[in-house]
Amino acid sequence: MRVKNIGIGLLFSILWSSASVATKFGVQSAAPLILANVRFFIAGILLLSFSYLFAKNPDYRLPTKKEWRQLALFGFLNTTLYLGLYVYAMKYTAAGIGSLAVSTNPLIIVLLSSWWLKRKPKAEEWTGIMLGMGGVAVATYPLLADSYTTVGGITLLLISMVAVSAASVYYATVKWELPNLLINGWQVFLGGVFLLPVTLGMADFGATKLDTVFWASVLWLSLAVSIVGLICWFYLLRIDTVKASLWLFLCPLFGFFFAWWLMGEPVTMYTVVGTVLVVAGLYAGQRTKFAGNKRG
């Protein structure tokens, strides 16, 4: 069982960190919003089709009126805002930085949950946040000079991180009665519906090439990341929430490796120092959880 859990944890880290590189490839062939919308609809339709047509489980039902509202808000934050902005930002951001920024989510969640729950952040949580943001800044610095990344891209990326952190805090406050597959299927599908008017109004359809690179990117993001990656994540969360978060520590390492291997992005001392700072920040920010888990 332990070997199985380690394997699933490694698979999650690899798939999750590959999203930035896959997105970077996709936006070379299509406008970011088109890539995002196609991905959302494919992932949503596949998840919902499996849930309703093949899963023989009475819990796989249509949402209630209240659940529709909850799914709509969650989908808007988690898919329309977060992934919509993230995909757009990757047009102007290095793939490695995209993966590194995603790893700061637990730190931003600390701030948002403190505000939401009226709880003052602890000293180690502030330390984690400062280390994490400092690490992103250090790793980004040389890439700004080399035109791998722009200030606008980083700004959109950080806004998307706030959006997904807000979605995570909201998700934790809701007593969900729907199965995880249905929650994920409906939220990603509804997120695509909300993004569609923006895509139709703003995206450059004339410059879009529906070539092999585009479809490989879309299918990888839909099947490997949005479906298999999230199934692995939900599995890890069911076993141990605290230990599950440890696998986020590997995402920056895999992310920079994929960016270097597949896209030729440079790995410098800034990259190494920035990654170490983010990993140290993740540990510092969640050190209390880890200690409490060991005592338990």
Exposed, middle or buried: residue 194 (CB in 10 Å: 0-12, 13-18, 19+)? middle
User: Could you tell me which of 119, 76, 125 has the C-alpha nearest to residue 104?
Assistant: 125
Record the pTM: 0.83
Sequence-distant (6+) residues with CB within 8 A of 136 are 97, 100, 101, 104, 274, 278
DSSP line for 227-276: IIIHHHHHHHHHH-HHHHHHGGGGHHHHHHHHHHHHH-----HHHHHHHH
Other C-beta atoms within 10 Å of 184: how many? 27
Q: Helices (H), strands (E): how many in the chain? A: 15, 0
In the chain, where the domains are located: 31-93+150-208
> Per residue of the chain (296 residues), what is the pLDDT tens digit?
678 888 998 999 899 899 999 999 999 999 999 999 999 999 999 999 988 988 777 788 999 999 999 999 999 999 999 999 999 999 888 888 888 887 777 777 777 777 776 667 777 777 877 887 788 888 877 777 666 788 888 899 989 989 988 888 888 888 999 988 899 999 999 999 999 999 999 988 988 899 999 999 999 999 999 889 888 887 887 777 666 767 877 888 888 889 889 988 888 898 889 888 888 877 776 665 555 555 44
User: Could you tell me which of 82, 109, 23, 102 has the C-alpha nearest to residue 275?
Assistant: 102
User: Could you tell me which of 209, 150, 202, 263 has the C-alpha nearest to residue 28?
Assistant: 209
Residue at token pair 């200690």: 291
Distances in Å between the alpha carbon of 6 and those of 13, 295, 296? 11, 22, 21
